[in-house]
Amino acid sequence: MNNMRRISAILLALMLVLSLPAFAFADSAPHYDELNYLNGQLRVGMECAYAPNNWQESEASDTNVPIENVPGAYAEGYDVQWARIIADYLGLELVIVKGYADLELSVESKGGHSSRPWGGSSLEHLARAITAIADSPFPARCPEPLLRTFETLAPYIQTEPLRTLVQDVNGNADAIAAWCMTQPELFSYVTTTIAPTVIEGGSAACNVLPQNMRAAVNFRLNQGESAESLLAHCREAVLAADPASPVTLRFLQANDPSATARTDGVGYRVLEQALGEFFPGVKAVPSLTAGATDAHQYERICDTCLRCSPFMVEKSLARSGVHGTDEHIPVRSYLQGIRVLMRIMELGNVDAQV
């Protein structure tokens, strides 16, 4: 049991280090030998896109770690080094896994002169496939945690038609999802998002047809979707636009949506207490995290994986979003958020809970 306490505390510390804080609480603590289910591995998920915390490299070094689900890629950064230290301490093999879903679209071509574009250029085929996917949105649906969000906030909502709809959250779930789809701040909570982000291999001259080209589309899966259903959806869209499309689709990495965390256990009570101490009078509500975290890696040994980012900023700054232009956070908000995270660790001390 002492070993299990130490391991649980270390896992909590590791998750606090990574980009978007996540917390694991097991209402019934697993036995130490349940870690055998991990096959001697400490699996850590990260986006590998947040230098200096974590980023992706194409060549191996003495300090980086291979990314399991991205062949030929390696993870490096502060998060990786912390994970190495913890894995060594526990005597486990460190495995890095990228989260969410990145779909690669690729097409091969011999190129040639632009005066003879018989059958279309590789860029044309690739652009048609990207457009087909972007023009085939996924259905809008309210996941269970979001319904509970609106249920909790119902007494405070004044905007119509939402004010009327939340009087019966379950009965109006479809209408609430449809309304969220019209709101820039909320649409990503009710549907699988589609974001073409990379295109490579275009011609260097206007009169030369491009040869092999590739693109990448990033998805954040809504609950109810899976990596398998997402790939089938995209293939269907591409072939509907061009039944003879030469574009090949494959995942660079993909994982299914995380399980819904419990809100009736000690973990959620700890978060509520810590947030209440630093933000008195502010209502804590269950919701969804649109960004990827490593928390789903711990679901095999923990029944409650909660995500929380207690860095409060002005509404105008929050709207620009993570990775927005001139991305920044006020020092006061940053320090306050750290204090909240420290308090969560104090309240969630494993020895005090067992």
**pLDDT at residue 30, rounded to an integer:** 42
CA-to-CA distance for 269 and 273, rounded, in angstroms?
A: 6
Instruction: Quote the percentage of the chain above a pLDDT of 90.
Output: 33
**pLDDT band of 5, cuts 50, 70, 90:** very low
Rounded CA gap, 86 and 238, in Å?
44
DSSP string, 233-252: HHHHHHHHH-TT---EEEEE
CATH number of 101-138+192-253: 3.30.70.360
137 phi and psi angles, rounded to 5 deg: -65, 155
Count Cβ neighbours within 10 Å for each residue of 33-68 and write b for 16 or more, e otherwise.
eebeebeeebbbbbbbebeebbbbbeeeeeebbebb
| Domain assignments of the chain as residue spans, ordered by start | 2-99+261-353, 101-138+192-253, 144-189
Predicted confidence at residue 321, as pLDDT, reads 59
User: What is the rounded distance in angstroms from the CA atom of residue 178 to the CA atom of residue 140?
Assistant: 7
Least confident of 94-98, 213-217, 240-244: 94-98
Q: What per-residue confidence (pLDDT) applies to 171?
A: 95
Pick the residue with more confidence: 184 or 9? Answer: 184
pLDDT in tens, 292-338: 566 666 776 677 777 777 887 777 766 665 666 677 778 888 888 88
Residues 168-180 have pLDDT tens digits of: 999 999 999 999 9
Report the distance separating Cα 10 and Cα 32, nearest Å. 13
The pLDDT tens digits of the residues spanning 118-154 come to: 888 999 999 999 999 999 999 999 988 888 889 888 9
**What does pTM read for this prediction?**
0.70
Mean of pLDDT values over 12-31: 44
List of E strands, 226-345:
248-253, 305-307
d(Cα 81, Cα 46) in Å, to the nearest integer? Answer: 13
Mean of the pLDDT values across residues 18-28?
48
Question: Could you tell me how far CA 36 lies from the centroid of its own chain?
Answer: 27
Residue with the two structure tokens 């990596």? 227
Q: Computed from CA positions of residues 13, 14, 17, 19, in that sequence, does the dihedral angle turn out positive or negative? A: negative
Torsion 148-99-187-337 (CA) sign: positive
Residue-wise pLDDT tens digits, 191-224: 999 999 999 998 889 999 999 999 999 998 888 8
